[in-house]
Amino acid sequence: MNVPVLEPPDLHLVRAAEGWLELRLPAEAANELAQISTPHQEHPVVLDAHWQLHAACGEWGLAHQFGERLIAAAPQAVSGWIHRAYAARRMEGGGLPSAWDALLPAADRFPDESLIPYNLACYACQLGQLPLARQWLQRALTIATRLNHRTTLLQMAAQDTDLAPLHEEVAHWPQP
């Protein structure tokens, strides 16, 4: 599925919104996104910008909706799947089981993406399912090793509070 390139002026509005978010000025970012032309409101780049806005504001229900819309618009983009799960964990009525359910289908869909099994390891760990967390973290490390970023993933895992119950083990896993 080919997604058309987002052209100016809408592209400029998205970039301006991203700049405002970097400056922690979400109201200004929202003003920029409100000016996007109607035909481009469902463009994946625009949907991602809306997700970033609502996540920055802690509006997890709205962020979840934009994650859903991003998956509908660009199911081949891993970011939508990760965004949806991240928001599902934090939104009212959500939680870890919701995040798990939202992300699990993406594991087979994106077999070369280490962040999906990594996040599933985090969710399993927080749900108290340490053997399952180890399996998912090993899968993430296998992918990361193949893509030459095992060290980065191990460093991330060693500092991630979601994986705190596994920190001692992770510290003894071999570095490349």
Given this model, what pLDDT does residue 93 score? 98
pLDDT at 2 over 80: no
| Full-model pTM | 0.93
Question: Class of the 1-94 domain?
Answer: mainly alpha
What ranges do the domains of the chain cover? 1-94, 111-176
Given this model, what pLDDT does residue 34 score? 98
Given this model, what pLDDT does residue 174 score? 84
pLDDT digits (tens, 9 = 90+) for 87-113: 999 999 999 999 999 999 999 999 999
Given this model, what pLDDT does residue 35 score? 98
pLDDT digits (tens, 9 = 90+) for 137-149: 999 999 999 999 9
Long-range Cβ pairs for the range 87-92 (8 Å, 24+): 87/51, 87/54, 87/55, 87/60, 87/61, 87/63, 88/64, 89/123, 90/58, 90/60, 90/63, 91/60, 91/61, 91/63, 91/64, 92/60, 92/61
Instruction: Grade residue 162 by pLDDT with cuts at 50, 70 and 90.
Output: very high
pLDDT at 1 over 70: no
Q: Kindly tell me the burial class for residue 129, based on how many C-beta atoms sit within 10 Å of its own C-beta (0-12, 13-18, 19 or more).
A: middle
